[in-house]
């Protein structure tokens, strides 16, 4: 093991020896729960703790017997890609009584379990906290009745509890995303995309009812991701007279030649008097008022089912490992905590603070304080709502401000799913802000040739769900066309530029910034939005398109693993794209349960390849007789995919055979995932608002033109840990490796040991970032502006 830096904190000193951890899933099931269970079990065993499955949630804890079983490493093999929960979940009335909790405590003590990892919703977590508070009293009662020894009361005096929120509704305060939400959005968007084609054929209106009895997150985000005409959610009821407003909007859209209307209703939707708004009521209204051919589709439990998305698998794996670390570090004074996600950062929050805030939302809704309810839901929810309001309702021309600024949008680099959602958002927000929006066809090459046209609100209708780049995109950098581009900017009077693309987009804007001394035309606000499947742009943790590519890789890996389950003793070597950036290989490996992932950023040699072969040889002796190895396309110029395939084939002779698979351009295609649609839409809206601000600041009234010549007028908008930040492209120069077109430091490298641990390798894991218990933040309006997505 490599020497460990002194300023870092590693978990090797956190031994679980002598500890027993129980893991249970409770309440409604959610995709990704199995990934969390797998991570808890493997991390627990890795730190030498005993790990127990508690089947059927709290019911199993109360009943005891075969419901509480010690598990091994192999017990959680092949569950990563399975939806629902393999250990079962049940509602348990008995656990709500002290008598029931007494039985549960007795069953845990029998096995020495004093650490519980509970995966469920707020009801399940509240129950766990009550159990913890009563623990010592329950043990004393058991000792008095002679069921346990006094010795056991002293030995097992404390119960530690860590929660993970598994809920498709994303209705738990304190966390940006709960396990299962992203997968549920995948199911909804698959259905919406399918419905759109049939609705278009017949000029129909569809009313879709999605889950969310008390929380409108699924309805809101799916409305944002498919460009729905209207959405009903419990936290933000429509104003008085909404019936007429909605019908006017629908008929206006039809008059603009829009062939379909989509209305999304959360099952708990209400009006401003707290009266329910049902999908049937909405349908009847449309039919009676407008006479449109209208259909209702209730998605129901489809949203809970199916395989978990790549995002949910990675989220659950990260949370599962974090939960075990939290249990190992827990002291009697530590409150029960929830491991959660804030932006891209894993955090620990006091369980009851989160529960209390979640209950406050419902209270605010009951008291009809709807603005407060939206605020309590958190900045991510509020940003979604504000973006939806910006994009869905076109204000009449007479009401729009008129700035006379011309803003151009273009795509640069390879196509990435979600680019079109970003363009749609930019155009619509730009028009709302009063600008004239221009589309540049085929990147800077098209710019130099004058392929620039004005683009209207209606031109970008239906773009959100389209893959690739509808504007056309080229990798060409502007350096060789600077004069021609400056001419076109002058001719078309372009006052600001939005460039959506990958590393080339970043480099292009750097070239434009550096050419300002020669060409005054480039002295305008310029914003880069990172969009590339490789996720290799400096200044951001995520790029538009990377999530879609990751899902394509994981889906293929699932199928490949399934094919190996029949043949046995087979190892698959899969090559992913990404240039020199190992993001797709590493995160794909984590989400698909790979045995190894070779990336350029972490050098490897023949000894490591040999060790991996030996590791797989050992694995073939167990019941898990298959292997999966991912390799980034440029991870090493000599250890090619063919070389690794041949080496594994030779070394594994008689033990396993090999197959190789180059995934290629399938990773670039397909409809964008909900995450990419949403991310693209929101950061694009934010970027246009920044451009508007800069245009106002840099407009010289006396000369009648925009002149922006400062470094902070050419920025890249990126997500860094918890926040969206505008960063001058010049400042990011030092953070970029221009030879290999990757950032010099990449956050996901910290997750590499996670993949190795879950694949049974001994490794070192830096936990400097974790271990801090924070408080639930009640954000101010200012925070909502700068906040996370």
What distance in Å separates the CA atoms of residue 647 and residue 660, rounded to the nearest whole number? Answer: 12
Instruction: State the Cα torsion 741-746-751-756 to the nearest 10°.
Output: 40
Token duo for residue 307: 């395989």
Which one from 63, 122, 169, 541 is the annotated catalytic residue? 169
Secondary structure percentages of the chain, helix, strand, coil, to 5 = 45, 20, 35
What angle (nearest 5°) sits at the alpha carbon of residue 691, between those of residues 453 and 256? 45
Q: Which DSSP symbol is given to 448?
A: H
Cα distances from 564 to residues 35, 559, 561, 575, 652, in angstroms, run: 20, 9, 5, 17, 16
Among candidate residues 447, 680, 443, the one with its CA nearest the CA of residue 548: 680
Token duo for residue 119: 């995966």
Reported as type and span, the H/E element at residue 110 is helix 98-110
**Please, where are the H alpha helices in 568-605?**
583-592
Other beta carbons less than 10 A from residue 504's beta carbon: 23
Give 399's contacts (C-beta < 8 A, 6+ positions apart): none
Q: Where would I find the beta strands (DSSP E) of 364-403?
A: none
3-state secondary structure of 270: strand
193 as an active site residue: the answer is no
Contact 131, 167 (CB under 8 A): no
Beta strands at 50-54 and 657-662: parallel, antiparallel or unpaired = unpaired
Contact 105, 142 (CB under 8 A): yes
* Total number of residues shown for the chain: 789
Among candidate residues 11, 25, 691, 770, the one with its CA nearest the CA of residue 342: 770
Alpha-carbon dihedral sign for residues 89, 52, 65, 115 = negative
Radius of gyration of the chain (CA): 27
- Cβ burial, residue 219 (10 Å; 0-12/13-18/19+): buried
What distance in Å separates the CA atoms of residue 713 and residue 697, rounded to the nearest whole number? Answer: 10
What distance in Å separates the CA atoms of residue 235 and residue 41, rounded to the nearest whole number? Answer: 37
- Active-site amino acid positions: 169
């Amino acid at each position: 093991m490599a020497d460990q830096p002194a300023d870092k904190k590693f978990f090797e000193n956190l031994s679980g020896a002598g500890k027993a951890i129980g893991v249970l899933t409770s309440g409604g099931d959610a995709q990704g729960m199995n990934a969390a269970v797998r991570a808890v079990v493997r991390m627990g065993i890795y730190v030498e703790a005993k790990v127990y499955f508690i089947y059927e949630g709290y019911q199993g804890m109360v009943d005891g017997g075969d419901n509480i079983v010690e598990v091994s490493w192999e017990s959680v093999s092949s569950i990563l890609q399975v939806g629902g929960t393999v250990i079962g979940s049940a509602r348990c009335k008995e656990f709500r009584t002290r008598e029931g909790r007494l039985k549960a405590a007795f069953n845990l003590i029998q096995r020495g379990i004093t650490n519980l990892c509970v995966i469920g919703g707020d009801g399940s977590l509240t129950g766990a906290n009550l159990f913890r508070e009563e623990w010592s009293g329950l043990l004393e009662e058991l000792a008095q009745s002679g069921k346990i020894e006094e010795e056991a009361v002293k030995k097992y005096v404390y119960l530690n509890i860590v929660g993970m929120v598994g809920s498709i509704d994303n209705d738990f305060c304190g966390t940006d995303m709960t396990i299962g939400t992203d997968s549920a959005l995948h199911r909804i968007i698959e259905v919406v995309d399918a419905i759109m084609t049939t609705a278009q054929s017949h000029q129909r209106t569809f009313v879709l009812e999605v889950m969310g009895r008390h929380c409108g997150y699924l309805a809101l985000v799916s409305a944002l991701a498919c460009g729905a005409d209207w959405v009903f959610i419990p936290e933000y009821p429509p104003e008085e007279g909404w019936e007429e407003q909605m019908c006017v909007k629908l008929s206006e859209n039809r008059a603009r030649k829009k062939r379909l209307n989509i209305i999304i209703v959360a099952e708990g939707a209400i009006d401003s008097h707290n009266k329910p708004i049902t999908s049937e009521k909405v349908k009847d209204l449309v039919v009676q008022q407008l006479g449109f051919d209208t259909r209702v589709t209730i998605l129901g439990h489809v949203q809970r089912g199916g395989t978990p998305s790549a995002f949910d698998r990675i989220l659950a794996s990260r949370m599962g490992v974090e939960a075990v670390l939290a249990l190992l570090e827990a002291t009697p004074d530590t409150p029960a905590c929830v491991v959660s996600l804030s932006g891209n950062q894993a955090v620990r929050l006091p369980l009851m603070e989160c529960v209390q805030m979640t209950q406050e939302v419902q209270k605010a809704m009951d008291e009809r304080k709807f603005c407060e309810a939206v605020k309590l839901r958190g900045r991510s929810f509020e940003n979604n709502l504000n973006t939806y309001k910006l994009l869905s309702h076109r204000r009449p021309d007479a009401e729009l401000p008129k700035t006379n600024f011309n803003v151009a949008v273009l795509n640069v680099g390879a196509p990435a799913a979600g680019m079109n959602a970003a363009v749609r958002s930019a155009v619509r927000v730009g028009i709302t802000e009063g600008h004239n929006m221009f589309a540049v066809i085929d990147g800077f090459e098209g710019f130099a040739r004058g392929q620039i046209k004005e683009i209207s609100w209606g031109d970008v209708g239906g773009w959100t769900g389209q893959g690739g780049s509808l504007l056309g995109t080229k990798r060409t950098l502007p350096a060789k066309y600077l004069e021609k581009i400056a001419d076109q900017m002058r001719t078309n009077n372009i006052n600001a530029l939005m460039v959506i693309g990958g590393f080339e987009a970043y480099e292009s804007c750097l070239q434009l910034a550096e050419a300002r001394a020669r060409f005054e035309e480039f002295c305008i606000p310029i914003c880069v939005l990172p969009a590339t499947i490789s996720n290799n742009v400096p200044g951001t943790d995520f790029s538009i398109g990377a999530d879609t590519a990751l899902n394509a890789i994981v889906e293929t890996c699932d199928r490949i693993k399934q094919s190996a389950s029949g043949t046995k003793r087979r190892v698959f070597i899969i090559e992913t794209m990404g240039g020199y950036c190992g993001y797709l290989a590493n995160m794909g490996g984590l989400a698909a349960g790979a045995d190894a992932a070779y990336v350029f950023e972490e050098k490897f040699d023949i000894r490591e390849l040999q060790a991996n072969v030996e590791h797989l040889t050992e694995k073939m002796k167990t019941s898990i007789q298959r292997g999966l190895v991912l390799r980034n396309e440029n991870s090493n110029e000599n250890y090619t995919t063919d070389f690794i395939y041949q080496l594994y084939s030779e070394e594994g002779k008689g033990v396993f055979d090999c197959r190789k698979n180059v995934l290629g351009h399938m990773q670039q295609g397909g409809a964008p995932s909900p995450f990419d649609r949403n991310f693209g839409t929101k950061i694009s809206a934010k970027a246009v608002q920044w451009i508007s601000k800069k245009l106002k600041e840099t407009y010289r009234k006396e000369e009648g033109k925009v002149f922006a010549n400062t470094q902070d007028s050419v920025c890249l908008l990126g997500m860094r840990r918890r926040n969206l930040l505008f960063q001058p492209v010049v400042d990011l120069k030092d953070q970029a490796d221009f030879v290999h077109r990757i950032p010099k430091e990449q956050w996901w490298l910290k997750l590499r040991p996670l993949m190795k641990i879950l694949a049974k390798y001994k490794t070192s894991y830096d936990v400097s970032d974790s271990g801090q218990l924070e408080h639930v933040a009640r954000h101010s309006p200012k925070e909502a502006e700068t906040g996370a997505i």
